[in-house]
Chains A and B, each alone.
Chain A
Amino acid sequence: DTGVSQDPRHKITKRGQNVTFRCDPISEHNRLYWYRQTLGQGPEFLTYFQNEAQLEKSRLLSDRFSAERPKGSFSTLEIQRTEQGDSAMYLCASSFLEGDGYTFGSGTRLTVV
């Protein structure tokens, strides 16, 4: 297992279109997180899954955003009716035990034109 995988690496979309990103965590990690990072800023928390249960959501996750982790393995993050303000790097991370550090993926860079 080589780490957290995210797909696609880059996505350019027109405003108003829907986009979906995928994250494959490290296989034994039951905890999965989504973060968003804009230029010059640190990543900001979006949502957290433990197994298939979505346990925490940030207020940043508006009703246009939805995340799933249907079988407690991979996760998807969908953005509906994209806006230019959604342009950012979307980062996925996973961890195993409560006190473990987080392992991040390479991210998906979204550009909304």
Chain B
Amino acid sequence: KQEVTQIPAALSVPEGENLVLNCSFTDSAIYNLQWFRQDPGKGLTSLLLIQSSQREQTSGRLNASLDKSSGRSTLYIAASQPGDSATYLCAVRPGNNRLAFGKGNQVVVIP
């Protein structure tokens, strides 16, 4: 069974600092990996999708890397802003249609 772990569970950073969020998974046989953002009491907003054949994806201030062989992905958020405060969820898709999620990285950016 695929297990997904996100470290750290929670972090606070001052505005302007870069954020580094880590995701690890136990089975490297994945189809793709997706990072989501979730605001309190809300649904999930897709940030980046990385296919298993890709090493990274970028969108604006966000960059996600994937090292499938070691079972790791990292989400970088450059020059953090208070509006980046949210929970960030990593989800891996194994060969079936069931995404396996981590518990999330809860981020607070302090103005």
Contacts and interface: CB of A to CB of B under 8 A. Distances in A.
B98 A104 contact: no
A85 interface: no
B44 A104 contact: yes
Interface stretch (A11-19, A37-45, A63-71, A76-84): A37-45
Contacts of A106: 42-43
A56 B42 contact: no
Interface size class of A (residues with CB under 8 A): 20 to 34
Contacts of B97: 31, 33, 48, 55-56
Contacts of B99: 33, 35, 43, 45, 102
B34 interface: yes
Contacts of B51: 99
Contacts of B49: 100-101
A66 B68 CA distance: 36
B36 A104 contact: yes
A43 B41 contact: no
B98 A56 contact: yes
Contact of B98 (A6, A31, A45, A107): A45
A58 interface: yes
Interface residues of B, number: 23
Contacts of B101: 42-44
Contacts of A102: 34, 46, 91, 99
A41 to B, nearest CB: 6
Q: Interface centre among B4, B42, B43, B101, by most A CB within 10 Å?
A: B43
A22 interface: no
B31 interface: yes
B66 to A, nearest CB: 13
B32 interface: yes
B89 A42 contact: yes
Contacts of B31: 99
Interface in B68-85: none
Which 3 pairs show the lowest CB-CB distances between chains A and B?
A42-B101, A101-B49, A106-B43
Interface of B: 4, 31-32, 34, 36, 41-46, 49, 51, 89, 91, 96-99, 101-104
